[in-house]
């Protein structure tokens, strides 16, 4: 593929990667440390991610264990998890915090699948926006006589192929997450 397409390909790849990271934060019933990525603890006046303050591990399929390196932060971590949007109350035994993930109901699974589809569609909109930016640039190049009409048609076809490839990749990532959610 032509070097002209490299920045657009990288941007599209980042969109799909961002989608995959977004899916990691969806609470699908299994214990997943990535769910805590958005939770910040007030640590001496500085919002700090939990994984920088504690060891986070999966004890069982549905139990996440958080063991702070500084025991005095146990209560702060617990409080940050309670006020976060994960919707699970942690249990504190004085040494570690445990988060038990309940089995999602059928209705909750359907909601999660809707979210998966919504995020996938947002990713595909971003990919198509990148395509539009590329097409606009190619038209300017044609207008400035940097490329020929045939080159423009060829570039547009290659850009569309690139867009289709990344949209399919986003669909595959979404299908994998949907399968994970429905198999719980």
- List Cβ<8 Å contacts ≥24 apart for 11-15: 11/130, 12/127, 12/130, 12/162, 12/163, 12/166, 13/166, 15/123, 15/126, 15/127, 15/130, 15/166, 15/170
Last residue of a domain, one of 85, 100, 115: 100
154 and 119 belong to one structural domain = yes
pLDDT in tens, the chain (184 residues): 678 889 999 999 999 999 998 888 776 667 778 888 888 888 888 888 888 888 888 888 788 898 988 888 888 888 888 888 777 788 888 888 898 888 878 888 888 899 999 999 999 999 999 999 999 999 999 999 899 999 999 999 999 999 999 999 999 999 999 988 887 6
Q: Is the dihedral of CA 27, 67, 60, 58 positive or negative?
A: positive
Q: How many domains does the chain have?
A: 2
Q: Judge if 80 and 129 occupy the same domain.
A: no
Same domain for 84 and 119, yes or no, is: no
Domain span at residue 127? 3-24+105-182
pTM attached to this predicted model: 0.73
Same domain, 20 and 43: no
Is 63 in the same domain as 85? yes
Give SS3 for 100.
strand
Looking at the structure, tell me whether residues 16 and 39 fall in a common domain.
no
Whole-number Å distance between alpha carbons of 134 and 13? 15
Can you give the CATH number for the domain in which 62 is found?
3.30.1360.40
pLDDT tens digits, one per residue of 100-115: 888 878 888 888 899 9
Last residue of a domain, one of 52, 71, 100: 100
Sign of CA dihedral 155, 156, 161, 167: positive
């Amino acid at each position: 593929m032509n070097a002209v397409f490299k920045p657009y390909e990288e941007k599209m790849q980042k969109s799909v990667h961002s989608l995959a990271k977004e899916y990691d934060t969806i609470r699908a019933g299994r214990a997943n440390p990535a769910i805590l990525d958005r939770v910040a603890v007030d640590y001496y006046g500085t919002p700090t991610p939990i994984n920088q303050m504690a060891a986070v591990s999966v004890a069982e399929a549905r139990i996440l264990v958080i063991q702070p390196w500084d025991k005095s932060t146990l209560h702060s971590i617990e409080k940050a998890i309670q006020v976060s949007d994960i919707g699970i109350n942690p249990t504190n035994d004085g040494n570690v915090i445990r988060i038990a993930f309940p089995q999602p109901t059928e209705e909750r699974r359907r909601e999660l699948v809707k979210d998966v589809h919504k995020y996938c569609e947002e990713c595909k909109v971003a990919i198509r926006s990148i395509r539009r930016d590329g097409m606009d640039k190619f038209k300017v190049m044609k207008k400035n006589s940097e490329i020929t009409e045939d080159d423009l048609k060829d570039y547009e076809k290659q850009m569309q192929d690139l867009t289709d490839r990344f949209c399919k990749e986003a669909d595959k990532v979404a299908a994998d997450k949907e399968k994970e959610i429905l198999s719980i």
